Structure formats: structure tokens, C-alpha cells
Amino acid sequence: MEDSKVATILEAARKRFAHYGISKTTMNEIAADIGMSKASLYYYFPDKENLFIAVVEQDFSEFHRTIEALLNKPNKASYKMKKYVSMRNELLGKLINLSKVDGVNMSQALNPVYDNLKIKLFRKEKEMVTRILEYGVKEGEFVKLPPETYADLVITLLTGIRSQGILLSAGGDVAAFQERIASQASLFVEIFLNGIKKSKSQS
């Protein structure tokens, strides 16, 4: 693949998605924006859904790089965990803008095209949170715990906060529900960290 062409397509697609949402964007418009023939565009991406997935994966790659950098810093595990949650909220807020979906459209958008993506991202997230937890256990900041099981729970709960928020916000104010999600996520992570921290007497 010619990377620069792909990059140009992704940039144009991202602009369209961010302004009009996925459902109101056509492959024709994206091709026209960059003076490319429809046939050429389809050569790179078989359909709009796959193009959308590629844009989402680009954002996730950037997120992973940021988290990778965070993991390599000497901060406390609890700091890393909080930072992870707030950066995750930011990322997912950006993606909500990209798809311009409300609750109802979101459940319609839960179609199998995205299932593979979701499973892949879930695994990757679990991996990152596992590393934060392992680090906290190793450093004696958290009690001894099975990091993978706990990471699985954390991602499940964070995703759950989000999907409940989306459900409850159906047709409502996106900004308000983003705020609700963010505050519930940060309250959750506070309680969670408090629940797994090693007490003074245990150290």
C-alpha cells in the first residue's frame, strides 16, 4: 500500500466524519475531497465501514502510544490508572463525535462489522490495564491480586458506564452524558484504587 495515499484518504475521511457523522458521509464525497476517483478509493477501502474502522484504529494507535509512554514513566501505578481512565474518556468522546451517534443510532450501529474491532480493542485495553496493575502489585502499592482478572473487570466496568450512559442519553444532550460518564468513571477509579491499595499495616 502507498502509505501517503492511505494517510491522505484517512485525513479526508476523518474531516467528513467529524463534520457530518458517518451516516451522512458518502465514499463519493471523500473521493471528491482529495481529487481521487471513486474506483481508486474503493481500491484502498472496500466500503465506508472499513474506512471508518481505519480512522478509529488510527486514533487507538495514538492512544496506545501515549499509554506506552505513560507505562514507562516512574509515576505511581494509581496515577497511571487515573490517567489511563481520563485519556480513555477523551479518546472515546472524540470517537462519539466522529460517528455523531446518539443512543438509538448507537445500538443500530452495533452491527457485526464493528464486532471484530471491539473485541480487538477490548483485548488491547485489557493488556494495558494488566500492565498497570502488575506494576502496582510489584511496587507494593496494590495488594496481591490476579492482574488479568482485575483488568478484565475494569475494562468491563468502564465500558459498562459508557454503554449505560449512551442508553440513558438516547436522543438527549451529548455533552451532558459525556460529563456523566467522565464523573462516574473517575469516581469508580477512585473507589477501585482505594479497594485494592495495600494498607499501611499490610506493607
- Interacting residues with its own copies (CB under 8 A): 107, 110, 149-150, 152-153, 156-157, 159-165, 167, 184, 187-188, 190-196, 199
168 neighbors 114 (Cβ within 8 angstroms) = no
Q: State which residue, 98 or 151, has the beta carbon closest to its own copies.
A: 151
**At closest approach, how far in Å is the CB of 56 from its own copies?**
18
**At closest approach, how far in Å is the CB of 61 from its own copies?**
24
Q: Which residue from 87, 5, 91, 17 is spatially nearest to 41, judged by alpha carbons?
A: 5
**At closest approach, how far in Å is the CB of 151 from its own copies?**
12
CA neighbours closer than 13 Å in the CB half-sphere of residue 181:
29
User: Which stretches of the chain are assigned E, i.e. beta strand?
Assistant: none
Q: State which residue, 33 or 148, has the beta carbon closest to its own copies.
A: 148
Q: State which residue, 35 or 171, has the beta carbon closest to its own copies.
A: 171
Q: State which residue, 14 or 80, has the beta carbon closest to its own copies.
A: 80
Q: State which residue, 5 or 180, has the beta carbon closest to its own copies.
A: 180
Burial grade of 112 (CB within 10 A; 0-12, 13-18, 19 or more): exposed
> From its phi and psi, is residue 143 left (phi > 0), alpha (psi between -120 and 50) or beta?
beta
**At closest approach, how far in Å is the CB of 112 from its own copies?**
9
User: Rounded to an integer, what distance in angstroms lies between the CA atom of residue 194 and that of residue 78?
Assistant: 9
Residue whose entry in the numeric block shows the C-alpha cell 502509505: 3
**At closest approach, how far in Å is the CB of 135 from its own copies?**
18
User: Rounded to an integer, what distance in angstroms lies between the CA atom of residue 161 and that of residue 163?
Assistant: 6
